[in-house]
Amino acid sequence: MTLDERERTVRVAREDFLSGERPSARLRPEIASSWRRCRLSGVEADADSVPYEPLLGANRLLTTAATPVLDWLADQLTGGTAVILADADARILDRRAEGQTLSRHLDRVLCAPGFNFGEEHIGTNGVGSVLESPGPVMIAGAEHYRDNLQGFTCVGTPLRHPVHRRLVGVLDVCCRYDDTNGLMTPLLLSASREIESRMYAESSLRERMLLEEFLKVSRRTSAAVVTLNQDFIITNTAAASLLDPADHALLWEWASGSMPRRGEFAGEVRLSRDVVLHGRARTVGEVRDGPAGVLVELRRPANGSPHRRRDAPRPHEADLLPGRSAAWRRALAELAAADRSGLDVLVTGEPGVGKLRATERLGDPDRTVLDAALAVVDPGWPDQVRRRLGLPGTLVLRHLDRTPEPLLPTIAALLDGPRSARVVATADGSSDCRLLDHFPARVELPPLRHRPEDIPDIAPVLLARGEGPAPRLQAQAVQALMALEWRGNVRELAAVLGSARLRSMGGDIALSHLPAEHRRAVNGPSLPTLKRSEREAILEALSDANGNKLAAAGRLGIARSTLYRKMRALGIDDKRWA
């Protein structure tokens, strides 16, 4: 069968499939399976949008090993061919294209760094479909699910870590369909082997450096000694008795936050279960893209045992509202002060932060929860509020800001009138509902994205709620969870962990068990909390100003030149807001 005949056959089969009929022509099994996955994911064949994500936290080992190979391939490319590097989430990291014509075609379909070509987003393609296959995949012409990709032929192959063999990226060779060449696959396989070989050499060098430093230091000290980077950790017996699996991520987060500033530093290290140790850390070795890792010496406090912070919650309170961050400890202190005041209390915060759970710290154990959101469908809801206010104990009015407009005067009169119950309410922090003015005490709970260091404490509590023994989180999974923004806050984290628990089949939860949209490359230090908040504020200002830089700078109270400088520093793509 010639190339044109094959293309016509696939086009007929695709039309049959998209119309809901059984394809009349036989497809390659991997293409038929991919199309079915696309349908289940809700991918639209005539769409042209592609999700974008700034290139923050890219896998340094992969990019360091791949760059020389991509440079060589770029010099060899002829006949309108492009080579594309993507990470383990199908997010494009680099693209080299021969000729302006092909570059323009790739730009038109948004095949550029930062755009995510996951199969669940844009359908069958030579990057995203590779993640669903154990080996190389060719997608030619009409085999692409989306209409705007029909003119391309792409061959992609997975790139795996040379030590633990986990998928770290995808290498793809792409050309116009009319230029399809049988040499694309062998060229691709040769390049992928060279990249994996370079990753092995780089990884082995890092690990040898860490091991040598660990052996040298552990022989002359009785302290707990740890050498680590984001993929690798070595501990002596003293350190192993102190650390939980989640502490790998916490130690790396603590150490990497200071590494760019100086080579040696010391301070308190807050680990899981609110354990605090004295830590001294310094960088280890030097490879092409920075230190090979870090060595940490951990010592117990003067009293000889790890101690809990004086301001840390008591054990039963930690189980209820876990967290170690300063923002969360401040919120807990405010809850305690509001409870002691005896006043009516309003708990605010974004959806999913745990407002209802926080109200369990307020008022008497004899509490009743009434949801104002149900007043829309329950005409007797105001009478329930009236009856409960006449009884002693605590009434919790959940979602008070969702009280229907016609009922606002009635509920306001009940709150102002004589009553026996103390009232605690929850509401969205951005609400302007006038009922919120009836509460003399207010506590705002911080969003999860402002306190990522709390995730290693929160996750075990959420996992313990299921049936059977609670699985543990592996270090890379913890790092990935800490790098996310969590717009759904703790509620979203609970859903992600529940899904991962099912995938892990009762075993430890690894990075691969997390849903695809919650897996990210975790190599390289994540943004500190302050910079993360700054980046979020800039993105919100740009969105509110529809991309107008001058207007966004005015909203932020900074000069436009300052806005451009901060956008570059925080990895915000200027072209996205052009």
Express each pLDDT in 516-534 by its tens digit: 777 754 444 455 556 666 7
Task: Assess if CATH 3.40.50.720 describes domain 326-444.
Answer: no
CA-to-CA distance for 10 and 238, rounded, in angstroms? 62
For residues 101 and 94, what is the distance between their CA atoms, to the nearest angstrom?
18
Q: How far is CA 300 from CA 228, 253, 324, 331, in A?
A: 20, 20, 19, 28
Q: Strand 394-398 relative to strand 224-228: parallel, antiparallel, unpaired? A: unpaired
Say whether pLDDT at 315 is over 50. no
Mean pLDDT, rounded, for 473-498: 87
Alpha helices (runs of H) in 246-400, residue ranges in sequence order: 247-256, 315-320, 326-341, 355-358, 381-389
As a whole number of Å, the end-to-end CA separation of the chain is: 46
- The tokens describing 73, both together, are 């391939």
Q: Of 415, 410, 406, 407, nearest to 436 (Cα)?
A: 415
- Residue with token string 């313990």: 464
In this prediction, residues 439-457 reach a mean pLDDT of 89
Using 50, 70 and 90 to split pLDDT, how confident is the model at 164? low
Domain spanning 221-308: CATH 3.30.420.40:
no
What's the average model confidence in pLDDT over 220-225? 85
Instruction: Give ranges for CATH 1.10.10 in the chain.
Output: 529-577
Please classify residue 266 by burial: count the beta carbons closer than 10 Å to its beta carbon, then call 0-12 exposed, 13-18 middle and 19+ buried.
middle
Name the burial class of residue 22, with classes exposed (0-12), middle (13-18) and buried (19+) by CB atoms within 10 angstroms of its CB: exposed
Domain with CATH 3.30.450.40 in the chain: 3-199
State the span(s) of the chain assigned CATH 3.30.450.20. Answer: 221-308
Q: Is residue 449 a contact partner of residue 536, using CB atoms and an 8 Å limit? A: yes
pLDDT > 90 fraction of the chain, expressed in percent and rounded = 30
Asked whether the predicted pLDDT for residue 307 surpasses 60, the reply is: no
pLDDT at 85: 95
**Average of per-residue pLDDT across 262-290:** 76
Is residue 347 classed as helix, strand or coil in its secondary structure? strand
Estimate the crossing angle of helix 560-569 against helix 529-544, to 10 degrees: 130
Copy the structure tokens of residue 382: 């105001």
Mean pLDDT over 180-203 rounds to: 84
pLDDT tens across 137-151, in order? 999 989 999 999 998
C-alpha–C-alpha distance, residues 559 and 549, integer Å: 10
- Residue 463's nearest CA partner among 274, 348, 319 is 319
CATH class of the region 529-577: mainly alpha
Q: What is residue 286's predicted lDDT score, i.e. its pLDDT? A: 76
What does the pLDDT read at residue 450? 82
Rounded to 5 degrees, φ, ψ at 286 are -155, 120
Q: Could you tell me the two tokens for 399?
A: 């979602």
Say what the pLDDT of residue 545 is. 79
pLDDT of residue 312: 41
Q: Which of 452, 458, 467, 453 is nearest to 501 (CA)?
A: 467
Q: Which residues are within 8 A (CB) of 55 and not within 5 positions of it... i.e. 6 or more apart?
A: 91, 93, 113, 114, 571
Output the pLDDT for position 316: 40
Q: Which of 12, 113, 8 is closest to 571 using CA atoms? A: 113
pLDDT of residue 521: 44
| Residue 551 CA neighbour count, 13 Å, CB half | 11
Q: Are 386 and 410 in contact (CB under 8 A)?
A: no
Is 314 a residue whose pLDDT tops 60?
no
Q: What is the mean pLDDT of residues 335-341?
A: 92
Q: Residue 525's pLDDT is what?
A: 46
Tell me: pLDDT of 382 over 90: yes
| Residue 347, number of CB atoms within 10 A of its CB | 31
Residue 145 has what pLDDT?
Answer: 93
Highest mean pLDDT of the ranges 71-85, 207-221, 227-241, 363-377: 363-377
**CATH 3.40.50.300-classified regions of the chain:** 326-444
Give the model's confidence band at 308: pLDDT under 50 very low, under 70 low, under 90 confident, else very high: very low
Beta strands in 409-565 (DSSP E): 422-428, 441-444
Q: Is the pLDDT of residue 207 over 90?
A: no
Domain 448-518 has CATH 1.25.40.10: no
Distance CA 430, CA 401 (A): 10
Q: How far apart are the C-alpha atoms of 97 and 83, rounded to whole Å?
A: 6
Residue predicted with more confidence, 131 or 316? 131
Topology of domain 3-199 in CATH is Beta-Lactamase (3.30.450)
Residue 173 has pLDDT above 50, yes or no: yes
455-463 vs 247-256: helix axis angle to the nearest 10? 170
CATH 1.10.8.60 residue ranges for the chain: 448-518
